[in-house]
Structure 1
């Protein structure tokens, strides 16, 4: 008699949580795995957590404060007991066999993280994320957003898994040290995925591991602050010396452009706040960089295939004439990458 792999799912609850009940129900209805769920009440403002039906496989843990996505997942993962660790958003429903399919891929030799086929709940035949691309300047976005799922029906290596639905071994999670609490929210899945590649393991998109996500794209001052801060943290800690040098010009140009955009959109204060945080936490950044660069097994030259010089204009609306800039970026990167 075969023994099903044991999977511990970590899920966070924050705010109103209109879809939490269905997200929890879907996880606990998973087949082909022995599943348990660690739910981190990170500041739920409704009765969504309190009214969940009792189930011995469900453990609710409540930190003293909102730890953000990164810290909240770390907090929940400390209570995980499965051989496999899964991250599932509280507004996402996994298909019954999704976790089993993700474990099957993640258990292959050479694979570190298996990322689900994240579909839009408003139209499950349409993609939310088929893995997330990574631009040379550190920007990342939901890959394949709005495209037919049929166009993403083939398993593929991806730069970054989507934190809405992924699986990795608990041993790898512990080896990598999980997320950095300092990210708080956004970009932590990019960081974890890049460090997985640096460890010599692949990140793989699994098309038949379906996760339906009630996705809403939004921009607000706090999000812009976190995105700007965390992108800079990632660039300064995860990129090796040669890769940082090769990307210095476009990264600097983007920083100037972002200052203009921030001023036009009214979030200049948040941009200044991000750079203040970077300055005040420079010792931590240096220590984290030293740790990441000293423990990596794969050099940046072997990871260049994961980077793109193209921005998705559906996610990042560009002004008229930006095609010229995109072309210039591609031309620059075709030369600069040879220096890595």
Structure 2
């Protein structure tokens, strides 16, 4: 009987937990051995007392500070790995599970031994007819986005936002950290989330590392999880998104690939700098540059890069063929993105064929 650890990271998420835990315990399968683990990132809304009063069987790992998404989830992952669980299920505090989802996810990894991670079909809530994610996509310049966001699952129209049928494969670039099942043995080889990232791109980075080791990332559309996703308009997020994009590129690409994409990277960077001034987050962009002026930042990146490049099993040419040259399915339909997509996509279609390493 497979052992599954269900890991939930919370931060002031009391308003979500009744729905999540109610659905979770309603649909715990009898065919699996499970333990529910909640890592609390120093909530101040009464989350921990409420958990102790209502869900005494849950293992609660209280933290003395907000560790962020990456390090916070790592607390739960280490706890589960030390107890020899076979599979580790990550769930955001704002998700709601459905009947049979876990059996479907476990079954997908059981029949695909080279798969390291599998994601359910994520649907929005309460707009349950709209997709949140059918798997996540890596853009060659380090951006990540959710495939099919805000489309209807049966919408056949090839619209700008991507209302289209799924590609005839269940392999994806990476699984959303909002809900995914990880194979413990693969995680031990690839390593946990990168604590340095704090929040954003940590799931992209892990999925990329799985691919470098020859593992697959899968989508299982038969398993459904609802996501009460709220688009964050916080200015601060741009710092983490932009900083982490560069960290992930510098860690995971072969250095020759970085040279090949450098012209597009520079042009995109100039454009983003102007865009940040026009949209009020230029301070966050400048903080990113300040971060990379510190020798300690580069030391941390190079140490991790050396470790990844040492254990990688696949070459870049085998990895990047599935990377996208376009940015699609955005929360806000941006005309600037639509305008630049053809240029960056054309560049990628040419240079990716030059990558033989």
In the superposition, the TM-score normalised over structure 1's length comes to: 0.93
Q: CA deviation at 1:212?
A: 0.4
| Matching residue of 2:86 | 83
Of 248-257 and 12-21, the range deviating more from structure 2:
12-21
1:106-126 deviation digits (Å, cap 9, x = unpaired): 222221111111100122222
| Matching residue of 1:41 | 40
Question: Aligned pairs, how many?
Answer: 336
Question: Are positions 1:121 and 2:135 aligned together?
Answer: no
Of 278-287 and 179-188, the range deviating more from structure 2:
278-287
Please give the root-mean-square deviation of Cα atoms over the aligned residues, in Å: 1.8
| Matching residue of 1:64 | 64
- Select 2:138's aligned residue among 124, 134, 149: 134
- Select 1:99's aligned residue among 98, 102, 107: 102
1:97 and 1:278, CA in 2 relative to 1: closer, same or farther beyond 3 A?
farther
1:276-298 deviation digits (Å, cap 9, x = unpaired): 22332111111111111111100
- Select 2:221's aligned residue among 201, 207, 220: 207
Q: CA deviation at 1:44?
A: 1.9
Q: CA deviation at 1:224?
A: 0.7
| Matching residue of 2:254 | 240
Question: Are positions 1:8 and 2:5 aligned together?
Answer: yes
| Matching residue of 2:17 | 20
2:130·2:153 contact (CA, 8 Å) conserved in 1? yes
Paired with 1:164 and 1:313, the residues of 2 have a C-alpha distance of: 17
1:182-197 superposed matches below 5 A? 182-197=196-211
Q: Where do 5+ consecutive residues of structure 2 fail to align?
A: 155-164
2:4·2:33 contact (CA, 8 Å) conserved in 1? yes
Paired with 2:167 and 2:267, the residues of 1 have a C-alpha distance of: 36
1:242·1:339 contact (CA, 8 Å) conserved in 2? no
Paired with 1:125 and 1:16, the residues of 2 have a C-alpha distance of: 24
1:146 and 1:110, CA in 2 relative to 1: closer, same or farther beyond 3 A?
same
1:154 and 1:34, CA in 2 relative to 1: closer, same or farther beyond 3 A?
farther
Question: Are positions 1:164 and 2:178 aligned together?
Answer: yes
Paired with 1:100 and 1:242, the residues of 2 have a C-alpha distance of: 42
1:18 and 1:202, CA in 2 relative to 1: closer, same or farther beyond 3 A?
same
| Matching residue of 1:230 | 244
Q: CA deviation at 1:27?
A: 2.4
1:129·1:142 contact (CA, 8 Å) conserved in 2? yes
2:146·2:329 contact (CA, 8 Å) conserved in 1? no
1:133·1:307 contact (CA, 8 Å) conserved in 2? yes
- Select 2:349's aligned residue among 319, 334, 340: 334
Paired with 1:238 and 1:141, the residues of 2 have a C-alpha distance of: 18
1:33·1:99 contact (CA, 8 Å) conserved in 2? no
Paired with 1:324 and 1:37, the residues of 2 have a C-alpha distance of: 46
Paired with 1:96 and 1:35, the residues of 2 have a C-alpha distance of: 15
Secondary structure of the corresponding residue to residue 262 of structure 1: helix
Paired with 1:124 and 1:305, the residues of 2 have a C-alpha distance of: 33
Q: CA deviation at 1:274?
A: 1.7
